[in-house]
Structure 1
Amino acid sequence: MERAAALTPDRHLIEEKVAGQEILKGRFLHAFRDTVRLPNGGETTREYVVHPGAVMMIPLLDDGRLVMERQFRYPMGRVMIEFPAGKIDPGEAPLACAQRELLEETGYSAREWVRAGVLHPVISYSTEFIEIWFCRGLTLTRPQLDEGEFLEVFTATPQELLNGCRDGAITDSKTLIGAMWLQNVLSGAWKLDWQR
């Protein structure tokens, strides 16, 4: 019975675009309002943002601490605690983006990298995806922040990270998912295939 259900197409859930309208094209955001046909034949509108994708790095120091950031996020109106992350440039490979962003934001370069997975942080209104990368064998040089970018780099133990997630000090969705990945990797439940 389960196998038959798994082979059933999702047609009864799929919405089809009938018409579309661009409502904003900014430097970063590209927003649309589409009219869609619902599975029951009715119509409604969907507003969403097209996003080029991003990467998040989980940098592991040799002593087991993590490299993290504090950064003011204007839409939230407050400083947020996060793993380093950044937007993928047009034509840029995700690993190249991860390496570039780690160096720019934290001043670290890494000897080993591994792609852990992907997350979709806001599936109801954005195409955004964030690739999750672990890195280790870190060497500190000097941050190369973008013009107008201000952040504070700090280190935390895995337990401090998890405490921050539990206590509500960390609410950023990508960092919460990163903490889940880290916890499973450190426990040995999830294996990573490190590459130089």
Structure 2
Amino acid sequence: MRRFGTPPRPGIRYIERPGAYAVIRQGDRLLVTEQSAPRPEIQLPGGGIDPGETPLEALHRESLEETGWRLRVVRRMGVYQRFTYMPEYDLWARKICHVFLCRPGLELGPPSEPGHRALWMEGARAVSLLASEGDAYFAAHALR
């Protein structure tokens, strides 16, 4: 599986954290989420897959929570891994990121997840601001 970002650090025990993420494209724009804490970041909407959830169920739930939009999934783009510290959970994680190309569906309202704001951005700008190298890779691929 392709890895983006820093390699795992020796002596650290990483907890596997599967997640599902959406590249939401409309024309040359992408819908991203700005997360304010623990540090401001531009991210693809998505997040962890809860026990008993499929990647697609998690994708729809997380994207709605973080953007306020329903999605129409076009296709699965791929999967990648990254090794990172997650301060909000106080753990080192091996994140397994399932990425899906999506179109916006219905906007239901503002994000329900505290500290998130949905932003429509010109695609190339969004790619340049995404905090995760893997997210940027898949977003750039979706814009080709």
- Of the three residues 18, 26, 30, the one matched with 1:53 is 18
Greater C-alpha Rg:
1
Give the superposition deviation at 1:66: 0.8
Letter aligned with residue 71 of structure 2: A
- Alignment partners' CA distance in 2, 1:83 and 1:46: 30
Give the superposition deviation at 1:137: 4.3
Over aligned residues, Cα RMSD in angstroms?
A: 2.4
Give the secondary-structure state (helix, strand or coil) at the position aligned to 1:52. Answer: strand
Correspondence 1:1-196 to 2 at 5 A: 46-61=11-26, 63-74=27-38, 78-122=39-83, 126-143=93-110, 145-146=112-113, 149-162=114-127, 165=128, 170=129, 172-173=131-132, 176-187=133-144
User: What 5-or-longer segments of structure 1 have no aligned partner?
Assistant: 1-44, 188-196
* Higher RCO (CA 8 Å, separation ≥ 6 residues): 2
Stretches of 4+ aligned residues off by more than 3 angstroms: none
Contact preservation (8 Å) 1:57, 1:84: yes
Q: Number of aligned pairs?
A: 129
Letter aligned with residue 108 of structure 1: W
Q: Which moved more, 1:137-146 or 1:103-112?
A: 137-146
Q: Percent identity?
A: 24
Contact preservation (8 Å) 1:60, 1:138: no
User: What 5-or-longer segments of structure 2 have no aligned partner?
Assistant: 1-9, 85-91
**Per residue, is there more strand in 1 or in 2?**
2
- Alignment partners' CA distance in 1, 2:130 and 2:111: 26
Relative distance call for 1:132 and 1:143 in structure 2 (3 A) is: same
- Alignment partners' CA distance in 2, 1:47 and 1:86: 22
Letter aligned with residue 141 of structure 2: N
